[in-house]
Structure 1
């Protein structure tokens, strides 16, 4: 199969199969997750089939023209890095979708859940295999949108809504900065093709020598850092934990958050080898690694602990990709790529296990846990493997990654010349110490000791079914297998990805024992300091909590909330400033502005003695046109001065019909028909509204001075526009380009209906804009109608006048007591009463009821309750 269509099949299959999820649900019911898992399995097998070609150094690529005028193609590219990310996404997807079959209740909206997950998976495939920056950006934002929908899956909880909105604002907003960075790359290289840039030495040199280098790098890194929760953008990830745990395991630990890391790795050859790259990528990575690890210590929610640990672990990756010098641009690349694989295994495993624990205990508060080792032995073993791997304990794969990280940090310090540069390995060890502490916190606080008595926590729990245990068990097996026998995984997955970033790189050799190297000594220091830190765990966490309570404003979350709240307040204040008057005043201001804009060139022409209009133009107007103009003016004047609504509407309608007649006279029948239809419908609508009003008189509260002012503005604006139109004949008209559409229509579009071709093809963006306006208007009208229905139902419920039969609590004239029943919808205007067995109905209006009640001595002074 052609490489383009083969990769396109992988990317588009999840999107297409979302349409089949509702049908699969009808057949499989709550087991529809297996259908989604099968789709992920097909994608995994298709991606895995590319491994032999990639290992041999044969990358797959293909493209078709999309927007040739803008150099935008629909292009796919599969190298070692793309295949690695694709395998991670699809394999973790299989496990997550299978796990969800038991995690989610059958009462959940399963169709929506699995559709969102499939859309996200397809979006990640698009990010991994895109070979065009614009195409990459589209899939990039699709991951933000699908993540927004998944985080906000529980639509009725404020926390979910807040977390989803926060994630979308930060990741989606930062993506716009990244898009501007892509525009800068295009300005430098003249292409959006990613592989074309990375394989062309001249383009790489042009980027590094460009004065836009630093600006472009910063703009792109803003998008990458926000997506991977680095630097000040990390604050969205903890709140994203409001999503269902399988979603957190899929998106926010193993896949989506790696999109930013992937972009940094993809563009590494273009920006690495510079001090800007090292300072921004490695510097922010080191700070985030230590800061997030420190904040993880005070968390008591299991998913919050994993959220901050994820931020810290992603910072490991960023830091390693940032290790670079001019002589050695890829110091940390091998370690980063290997950790990219390992992190996906142990972090996804941890999230799935936390989901099991929360599912069984009905809580995620770690303070309410303990003693689960005997009750959940399988979960305990799996948790020990995953947490120990994250802590860097041998012989697990996390230990191998940590060793490579320490080794690359020492190498980077030596490359920079030692001295203060040795702060890099010191910070690396500090990050490892914090990781060691919160990793063992998970094991000790959950499974050891004794559980405190809590009425909300079940007294007896057990391991779940194999459906929930199998996915983390598979990941645990991989953790051990990669740790003990890393070579097959490195040869098939890691080394091709390294070669994609650093062509011709040395083969990565990993082993559990390398002797007493600096990295091994750093590991021993990490274990010792980690144990000491754990002994002070509660004291440090308490200090963090006290500091947060004492200084609530020293927080990035506080800054974010303040900015969002102020945006609402600013919008409201600005709106009140602009919209504090009547529409008549707005129209007057706009007309006055038109006069001002026309008066400037007109005054300049008069001062310089230039003609302002053609004297011959007025004599070219035919008598029939002049008659139409006079009728239009009279109709407009009548619409503005008539005192009653109905004559005003008729005068306005006549104005529209006269304009339609003018269009017909000027040989524009399509415009004439449109004008007739619009005028007819608008006249009918106006008359229907007027008929509902109590008074048919027009309300004109303006004083005489205000009317004179408005008339003066109108006359001046009319004179200005008249002069502007009269002066149009002084300049040569633009050459008509209608012949271009007729000459090129069939050749460029294949269409023979010239009107359709112009609207759909040549003016496609204009048409999209018009359709968007109509769509927004339709949605607004729909929401208004829906809100009125809800308001009506709420009002009916409050007053007790909802549909249904009820016995009135007051006597009705002419109706026997005890046999009265009010039928249908009861309003304040009439009451329908059925009396006796003869079916006779009496309709009594509100005034009659009130008069009768008053005659009976009822007190009506306190409103509806008194009437009852």
Structure 2
């Protein structure tokens, strides 16, 4: 599996070169990559169906227990087959749909990178590996949704999808870390067997909330559902792949994968059933507002994702029906929704519109696409003899077994809207006249929809072909062995009666659709998207305010914020650590030291009271000279000389700069904030030094330099040997930085004099309004 994922990433990186080589046929050539991967995973079916779980691991960060470990069971195998199998037809479809697009090579690169990331996500066994792949899918989906980056709506939809899913990703990261701490392992396969321990842990509830946030944002669950329909600004191949079969099911996969570990509690089942049902009804209700084919399918996808989450919540409450319904409905939805999206794109590609009110008679001019739409629509409506009918039947059986009656009733209403949508999709193919010059597209456009819809029909007639894998999927979700016999005709039972009621309600909704759409379109309905927009605007205003506050262009303000922050943060740390105010055993200061300290203090106070910048520099020199004399009294003449030189050069350089800025004006009076920050920073440094002196003196490094300076550095002055020999490159780097800074200052001053650059008051040469040219 490690090799398969590596091949997927390498193949994606090679896609632009393959496109240059094959040109318009690149779609067929590049489709060999997902096709080969699909064949590889299909070859593992006998082992997985036989009850084996395959695991491969590659050490990544051994000290932290982080590995590139991958785990294959029924659940991950089904997703791997969907990702690679549907991905094969999507790549072929992209070549026909985007033929002639100048950025088609880039599209192949990103969509294959997404496929590899999604494949790594569903196979990951390590929580860190899973999160890395999770974020890669968010990043690549952002690039795919915003593929037409010259259009504002595409950029806005891509940004919205990224912000929502990435925000949930951060919550998921925290949840996965807590989960690993609770279970004592980063390997998901090991955590799955510790359900009882995890549910009884005090951190179970916050961990569950964080994981649900990550899954809900990714799978567009209420109230985060709004980003998915907006993402329909992406090209149709992206919608067919990401937003029906793969990315939006990542959150569903995560919940199904962690169900044996986190499921079984009342809060788990209640949360998933309530939010799943709310998402199902929200997607169904918002379907009435649109006539665009992709928008209609997008809200249908939202509803189906809600149904899948609802089923996961039912899993702990039923014997095996909910797990089996999940396995069946998941495959059925991926087949019919991927086919319908591609068919909608083919219709738009040939007819030039996706508005169902402007389409008609398409079956006569697009018969192959029409067959695919009819078969996929049957599965969407849950009618026999397709797999969607079987999935809906088992879903109703599970709901009747464990869900309250009111939830079952609401689920029927949600699925009835799906039956209505099936009619809305099929009728334009048979009623009315076809648009002029419309014809069947190239094979790349109808092959994928026809094959996917045909698979739904085949598995409907012969569900036994899927039954072994469905059992393996259900067993992985349930956490125990499941065996259930799928069949097309279950007989007359309550679930069948609910299916019949669903179809009848769907027909009724179809005839009411024009009135309901007109009524819902009258006024905009406030919802979570309005809250998202308000939150985003608030963040932008906050960011602008912080920028105005911190990026004011004033060096004084920057210094106040920097030193004030240091005083606050480091001071809080020192206070909490209980640092000593005076080190034990320290000697009292000598009279000479007291005198020097008094002179330095007077110099600092004098500098604060002066209003001339040049006078301030001179008075501050007293502080620097006092420090140099302190070094001299402590028998460090080399440091004393260095301090004198630095102080002298600094005073000269600052004076020269001040002379060039003649209109700088006097120092303002007051400056209480400056004084408070300065005193606070001085006190902080004092506390730090006292804290250091209070610690035992470690002489190991000093003894090393003392022993090595003469024999290896050929010098008796240990400090000089350290600077020149032991830290030679470091010292050279410091000298280089200082030299470059000085050179930059000199160039700026020289350019200012040469160009007669205007001063801040509008005059050139830095003269003030009241200065005479010769003054």
Deviations 1:201-259 (A, max 9, x none): xx221112123222222211111111111110110000111111011101100111111
The match for 2:275 is 284
- Confirm or deny that 1:296 pairs with 2:268: no
Match of 1:470 in 2: 447
Q: Distance in 2 between matches of 1:596 and 1:204?
A: 44
1:564 counterpart = 2:536 = yes
Q: Deviations over 1:673-715 (max 9, x none)?
A: xxx9xx99xx9xxx9xx9xx9x9434422346369x7996797
Maintained 8 Å contact 2:320/2:474:
no
Q: Distance in 1 between matches of 2:292 and 2:17?
A: 38
The counterpart of 1:116, out of the listed 110, 114, 122, is 110
Moved more, 204-213 or 247-256: 204-213
1:793-815 Cα shifts (integer Å, max 9, x gaps): xxxxxxxxxxxxxxxxxxxxxxx
1:700 lines up with 2:664 in the alignment:
yes
Cα 1:275–1:599 change in 2 (3 A) is closer
- CA distance in 2 between counterparts of 1:600 and 1:182 reads 31
| Distance (Å, rounded) in 1 between the aligned partners of 2:303 and 2:442 | 32
The DSSP-based 3-state class of the residue aligned with 2:224 is helix
1:266 corresponds to which residue?
A: 257
Equivalent position to 2:396, from 401, 406, 409: 406
**Which residue of structure 1 lines up, in the alignment, with residue 312 of structure 2?**
321
Aligned equivalent of 1:310: 301
Post-superposition CA distance 1:399-448 (Å, at most 9, x none): 111111111111114xxxxxxx2123212221221111111111114542
Aligned residue number for residue 237 of structure 2: 246
Alpha-carbon distance between aligned partners in 1 of 2:239 and 2:308, rounded to the nearest angstrom: 19
RMSD value, Cα: 4.1
> Contact 2:226–2:529 (CA<8 Å) still a contact in 1?
yes
Alignment of 1:652-691 (within 5 A): none
Matched ranges for 1:484-563 at <5 A: 484-491=461-468, 493-548=469-524, 552=525, 554-563=526-535
Quote the Cα distance in structure 2 between the aligned partners of 1:737 and 1:101.
69
427, 437, 450: which one pairs with 2:420? 437
CA deviation after TM superposition for structure 1 residue 312, in Å? 0.8
**How many angstroms does 1:185 deviate by?**
1.3
The structural deviation recorded for 1:721 is 6.2
Q: Deviations over 1:291-312 (max 9, x none)?
A: 2112112211111000000111
1:585 and 2:557 are equivalent in the alignment: yes
Contact 1:613 1:730 in 2 (8 A): no
Partner Cα distance (1:274, 1:721) in 2: 52
Cα-to-partner distance string for 1:469-512 (whole Å, 9 max, x where unaligned)? 11111112101101111101222x22221222235534221222
Check whether the contact 2:2–2:57 (CA below 8 A) recurs between aligned residues: no
Cα pair 2:390 2:487 within 8 Å, conserved: yes
1:717–1:498: structure 2 CA closer, same or farther, 3 Å change rule?
closer
Output the CA distance in 1 between the equivalents of 2:36 and 2:463. Answer: 26
Q: CA distance change for structure 1 residues 287 and 737 in 2, over 3 Å: closer, same or farther?
A: farther
Task: Give the counterpart of 2:367 among 367, 377, 384.
Answer: 377
2:178 corresponds, among 163, 168, 184, to 184
Per the alignment, residue 460 of structure 2 pairs with 483
Cα shift at 1:564: 0.9
For the 8 Å contact 1:303–1:364, the answer to whether it is kept is: yes
Distance in 2, matches of 1:307 and 1:340, equals: 16
Counterpart for residue 358 of structure 2 = 368
- The answer to whether structure 1 residue 98 and structure 2 residue 92 are counterparts is yes
The match for 2:60 is 66
CA apart distance, 1:572:
1.4
Q: 1:591 to 1:381 in 2, by over 3 A?
A: closer
Aligned to 1:3: none
Deviation at 1:373, TM superposition (A): 2.4
Superposition pairs for residues 120-199 of structure 1, below 5 Å? 120-199=114-193
Most deviating of 16-25 and 509-518: 16-25
The 3 A distance-change label for structure 1 pair 216 and 381 is same
Larger RCO (CA under 8 A, 6+ residues apart):
2
SS of corresponding position for 2:486: coil
- For residues 189 and 332 of structure 1, the distance between their equivalents in structure 2, rounded to whole angstroms, comes to 26
- Give per-residue Cα distances to partners, 1:564-621, cap 9 Å, x unaligned: 11211222133334555722134246556767899999999xxx99569944789999
Q: Distance in 2 between matches of 1:166 and 1:703?
A: 49
Which residues of structure 2 form unaligned runs of 5+? 703-775
Query: Does the 8 A contact of 1:599 with 1:720 survive in 2?
Result: no
C-alpha distance in structure 2 between counterparts of 1:598 and 1:359, whole Å: 63
Partner of 2:746: none
Distance between the aligned counterparts of 1:616 and 1:313, measured in 2? 79
TM-score (norm 1): 0.70
Contact 1:36–1:118 (8 Å) recurs in 2: no
- Contact 1:300-1:366 at 8 Å conserved across structures: yes
Confirm or deny: 8 A CA contact 2:161 2:231 kept in the other structure: yes
**What is aligned with 1:427?**
410
Name the CA distance, whole Å, in 2 between partners of 1:317 and 1:532.
Answer: 25
- Structure 1 residues 204 and 620: alpha-carbon distance in aligned structure 2, compared to 1, 3 A threshold: farther
Please say if residues 195 and 263 of structure 2, whose CA atoms lie closer than 8 Å, have aligned partners that are also in contact: no
Instruction: Work out which of the residue numbers 334, 351, 364 in structure 1 matches 2:324.
Output: 334
What are structure 1's unaligned runs of at least 5 residues? 1-6, 414-420, 452-457, 740-868
Deviates more, 1:90-99 or 1:169-178: 169-178
In 2, are the aligned partners of 1:643 and 1:697 still within 8 Å (CA)? no
Cα contact 2:567–2:680 (8 A) shared by 1: yes
Q: Distance in 2 between matches of 1:151 and 1:596?
A: 44
- Aligned pair in 2 of structure 1 residues 536, 700: CA closer, same or farther (>3 Å)? same
Q: CA deviation at 1:321?
A: 1.5
Matched positions, count: 672
TM-score scaled by length of structure 2:
0.78
